[in-house]
Every structure is written in structure tokens, then in C-alpha cells.
Amino acid sequence: MSAAGSLKRLTPSRIRAMKGGAPIVCLTAYTTPMARLLDEHCDLLLVGDSLGMVLYGMESTVSVTLDMMIAHGKAVMRGVTRSCVVVDMPFGSYQESKELAYRNAVRILQETGCDAVKLEGGEEMAETIAFLTARGVPVLGHIGLMPQQVHTAGGYRSVGHSDEEVAKIRRDADAVGNSGAFAVVIEGTVETLAREVSAAIAVPTIGIGASVACDGQILVSDDMLGLFNDFTPRFVKRYDELGKRVGAAAAAYADDVRSRAFPTEEHTFKRRS
């Protein structure tokens, strides 16, 4: 990417300035080809640790490593000219101490060239977020349903149903919003509560299974494109059924190979005279 091209890309500070304005369009990306396809349509591309499940067939994001995130962060950065790129900090890379979080966040920024990191956690992570942002590391926060805590949370489920959960999410939103994060993802949270906290904090909120009132929305691209046919989360709107189309194309190819209809003469090479 040229220096001139990189200067045109959206920055975390510009994303922050979109609070209350035009909705922020966000999707996940894990590869260079997908980044190139999504870049012109998005304000922010997230290299999510969801890649563990989407690309590697893991049961959760917990087994994703820092090296995996950096490798995919590099790949996405090769495909962007416009979008702000954020890379997830995987489980275990930041919870132990704010110093460890800083070292790993710096490694992500230096080795990928991305614009920011994302980490999960509310009031318990506010000090870490403040520590990072004070030292030049832009941070995207993440509250509500937190996939890295799936084992302690008892599975993937929406939150904000009990009075205790409501109070906790309110505290989390306030803590992260005041910690220096440039924006906050709100995931799997009761709509009225997501709407309330979005209006209450000064930084943009990016919803996923939250509220249309959030300042932006994000989906896992593979969910949105219908590359998974076995399960569709309630909060996903499918804009295509690429999984079925890929399967149909593969079936047509297999038929041609088995019937020797492919390759034809136009797909082969002749000896030069």
C-alpha cells in the first residue's frame, strides 16, 4: 500500500467523531481477497477472533492465538485502502496485566500495521484500556455478550435480562466509554438496554445483536453472506446464500470432471511451433 493511499484510510479518531452521525458500517475480514471486496463499502473492518470458528472450525474463540491474529491482520492490511482496521486481542493476551496487554497490543500494531486493537471486558478492563490509550494504542471496547468468556458465562446467550445484568452492563458501558476507547461494541444485549447505553456514553457504539439505535453495526461476514447453512444466529440478516451457490458450483464442476467435459481444448495448452 502506498503512503498516499494509507493517508486516506479512516482512523480511530475519525470513527470516534462519527458518534451521532451517519451509521458506522463494519464487517469482519480475515483474508486479503475478502478485505479487498469489503473495503470500499465499510468504515471499519474487524479481524475478529471469530476466525477461530469461521476459518479453523474451532468450537469457540478461546483457542485462537496471538500469532494467528497477527497473520490474518497482515493479510487484511494488504487488501485495504479505505477502512479502519482493528485486530482482536485473543483470549489470554491481555487479561493477566495491563503491562502484558500493552506488550501484545504493540506487537499487533507493529507487525500488522493495523489501526487499533479490540479487547473484551467492561469495568474490570477499564484500567487496562486507559493504560493502553495513554501510551498510544487505540482501543475498541467490547461489552455485553463476550465470546471469550463463554465458559464462565454458561454458553452463548443474550444478556441484560435480569436486574443484575442490566446494572452490570450500564457500569461496563460507562467505564469503557470513559476509559479512552474510541468506540464500543455492544453484543447480544437486550434492545432497550443497548439503546439506553448507546445514548448515555460519549463514544460510538457498534451493535451486533443489540439495537438499531447504536451508532453502527457489525456482522461476521460469513454469516451475512450465508456461507454457513447449519445455523443462523437470531441477530444475523443474510444478504446472500453463497454457501449454497458454492456447493452448486462444486457439484457442476464434479459432474464435468467425471464426465470428462472439463477440461476442453480451450482450457489446455498447445505446443509452440
Nine-digit cell string for 267: 482450457
Report residue 48 as a C-alpha cell: 475478529
In a domain, 53, yes or no: yes
Question: Rounded distance, CA 127 to CA 129, Å?
Answer: 5
Residue 209: alpha-carbon gap to chain centroid:
14
179 is in an annotated binding site: no
Q: Give the pLDDT confidence score for residue 149 in this predicted structure.
A: 81
Question: How far, in Å, are 3, 122, 151, 171, 172 from residue 144 at the CA level?
Answer: 37, 8, 15, 11, 8
Please give the Cα distance from 114 to 45 (Å, whole number).
10
Distance (Å, rounded) from C-alpha 223 to C-alpha 228?
6
Mean pLDDT value across residues 171-179: 98
Q: Which residues are catalytic?
A: 187
Question: According to the model, what pLDDT value does residue 2 have?
Answer: 36
Residue 6 confidence class, pLDDT cut points 50, 70, 90? very low
pTM of the model as a whole: 0.93
Per-residue pLDDT band for 235 (boundaries 50, 70, 90) equals confident
pLDDT exceeds cutoff 80 at 1: no
Q: Three cell numbers at 65?
A: 492465538
| Cα torsion angle, 44, 47, 49, 53, sign | positive
The CATH code of the domain that includes 92 is 3.20.20.60
Total domains, the chain: 1
Q: Please give the grid coordinates belonging to residue 33.
A: 481477497
Q: Is residue 42 part of a domain?
A: yes
Kindly state whether residue 167 falls inside one of the protein's structural domains.
Answer: yes
Q: Is residue 259 part of a domain?
A: no
Residue 85 placed within a domain: yes
Q: How far, in Å, CA of 132 to CA of 226, rounded?
A: 36
* pLDDT top residue among 157 and 80: 80
Mean pLDDT score of the chain: 93
Residue 7 lies in a domain: yes
Q: Say whether 118 counts as a known binding-site residue.
A: yes
**Which percentage of the chain shows pLDDT scores above 90?**
88
Grid cell in block for residue 109 = 500494531
Was 256 annotated as part of a binding site?
no
67 among annotated binding-site residues: no
The beta strand positions in 48-182, using DSSP E, are: 84-88, 116-118, 139-144
Q: pLDDT grade, residue 148 (50/70/90)? A: confident
User: Which of these, 82, 81, 73, lies nearest to 108 by C-alpha position?
Assistant: 73
Instruction: For residue 31, give every residue at least 6 positions away whose Cβ sits within 8 Å of its Cβ, in sequence order, or none.
Output: 72, 75, 76, 79
Q: What is the mean pLDDT of residues 101-130?
A: 98
Give the dihedral sign, CA 141/142/147/149. positive
The DSSP bridge partners found for residue 25 are 217
What does each C-alpha distance from 14 to 11, 28, 253 come to in angstroms? 5, 19, 46
Give the C-alpha distances (Å, rounded to integers) separating 215 from 16, 143, 203, 210, 236.
Answer: 10, 15, 9, 11, 17
Question: In which domain, by residue range, is 146 found?
Answer: 3-241
Model confidence at 211: pLDDT above 90: yes
Q: Does residue 250 lie in a domain region?
A: no
Is residue 43 a known part of a binding site? no
Q: Is residue 273 part of a domain?
A: no
